[in-house]
Structure 1
Amino acid sequence: MEKTVTVGLEHGLHANAASAFVHEAGQYKADVYLKKGNSTINAKSILGLMSIVVQKGDDVLLTAEGADEEAAIEGLSRFLEGK
């Protein structure tokens, strides 16, 4: 399952938001990935997330595969949208 999301977080995924995002992603059993441009990272990896720059207004692709993939996509989409 996948969904394109426009980042609505005021400061994008800076260090604090990135840490909170990785923590949120870790709550799901599904394998979750975030793609921006040509880079795809494991959404549960803080090092992976910090290796790409995600700013407000960027479009990213969330992909999840596993038992709770729908919940993962919905929860992480809301997080990225700043809701």
Structure 2
Amino acid sequence: MEQQETISLFKSLSVHKVLELVHLLEHYESDVFMEKKNTAANGKSVLGMMSVFTTIRIGDKIHMRVKGEDSDKVCSAVHSFLQDAGAEEVLGYWEEEGVETVEKAMTASLNHWSPDVRYVAKSYLKTTRH
């Protein structure tokens, strides 16, 4: 049996949480594949999962494809894991305000900053935009 689901996430997972998720998926027989934009990963591969889950931005969607006899259990386990992982951490400033709002505010105030602060802000904006 094969199942496909789309999961919306509001933040990335820590490296520790990605390792926990991979370890969880290793207990199932089903093949699990995760995809975000142009990046796809085997759910049982630490490096692949790191490339998908540690770079999530607000509103990113993860497409999950599960193929095997225990696919129902896998989907349920992943949803529970992600729900618990999100509930554990308190939202930081970036999540509360939304990255786009903060980026707009930073861009609008660039003219009022010293050259050093402006350089750091521009570097940040370049590295966080896709």
Question: Could you state the TM-score of these two structures normalised by the residue count of structure 2?
Answer: 0.55
Shift of 1:51: 2.2
Show structure 2 runs of 5+ residues with no match.
88-130
Residues 32 and 65 of structure 1 are in contact (CA less than 8 Å); yes or no, is this contact kept in structure 2? yes
1:31 corresponds to which residue? 31
- Kindly tell me the number of residue pairs found equivalent between the two proteins: 81
Which residue identity lines up with residue 63 of structure 1 in the other structure? Answer: R
Larger helix fraction of residues: 2
Runs of 4 or more consecutive aligned structure 1 residues displaced over 3 Å after TM superposition: none
Which residue identity lines up with residue 50 of structure 2 in the other structure? Answer: M
Which residue identity lines up with residue 7 of structure 1 in the other structure? Answer: L
Residues 5 and 80 of structure 1 are in contact (CA less than 8 Å); yes or no, is this contact kept in structure 2? no
Shift of 1:54: 2.8
SS of residue in 2 equivalent to 1:35: strand
Q: CA RMSD in A?
A: 1.8
Which residue identity lines up with residue 41 of structure 2 in the other structure? Answer: I
The higher-RCO structure (CA 8 Å, 6+ apart) is 1
1:14 corresponds to which residue? 14
What are the residue-to-residue correspondences of 1:1-83 with 2, within 5 Å?
A: 1-7=3-9, 12-52=12-52, 53-55=55-57, 57-82=59-84
Larger strand fraction of residues: 1
Shift of 1:50: 1.4
Shift of 1:64: 0.3
Question: Could you state the TM-score of these two structures normalised by the residue count of structure 1?
Answer: 0.83
SS of residue in 1 equivalent to 2:47: helix
